[in-house]
Amino acid sequence: GAVALLLSEDPTLTPQTVRDELMKRATPNAVGKPGSGSPTSLLYVGAGKPLPSPEPTPVPTPPPVTSGSWQVVKGDCRQQGNCIVSPNWPRSYNDKEECIISVGIPFDKVWAEDFNTEPNYDKLWVNGKAYHGKIGPKGVKPTSDITWTADFSTRRKGWKLCVRRSTISPTAPAAPVDCTWTTP
């Protein structure tokens, strides 16, 4: 019934577009304790499109990160010490995940200490290069934000990306050493 009503509005809709439109028109989180595999959205089949929802309160823009630091500015990735991990790591990430990690330039090199994503589809982008499958960045110095995107199908463990801070510090000039030889 709901699909027929929607197709009566636009008979050219594809199955995916029909699904997306039904979800867009549904009232989210309106069904409490649905059965296993059932959605929590309430299907809307009234005439025409429902009244638009009010615009959500905009999320404040995070302050810029300072040089040498990084922070998650979008998505469910999270920081763990000197590392940032994909959502749910070390368990599987969800479909349609996205994260943006803002990097304060200059920044030290990063290494993937753990990396397992769906090859060719779920990607971690560093400096315009996509990492996916089981090969993550190793010793890469980020020059811009790092981005994570997962598509809508296969889920994997995800990744743990860590920065290794430089431990070499400038040395002070050595104190003069007396190298005079004396003979007894």
Q: 74 by DSSP, 3-state: which?
A: strand
pLDDT value at residue 170: 44
Residue-wise pLDDT for 58-100, tens only, equals 766 666 778 888 999 999 999 999 999 999 998 999 988 999 9
For residue 69, what are the CA distances in angstroms to 52, 117, 121?
A: 40, 25, 28
pLDDT value at residue 75: 92
pLDDT value at residue 13: 84
Extended strands (E) in 81-164: 83-85, 98-103, 110-116, 123-126, 129-131, 138-140, 146-149, 158-163
Element (H, E) at 8: helix 2-9
CA 29 – CA 40 distance, rounded (Å): 5
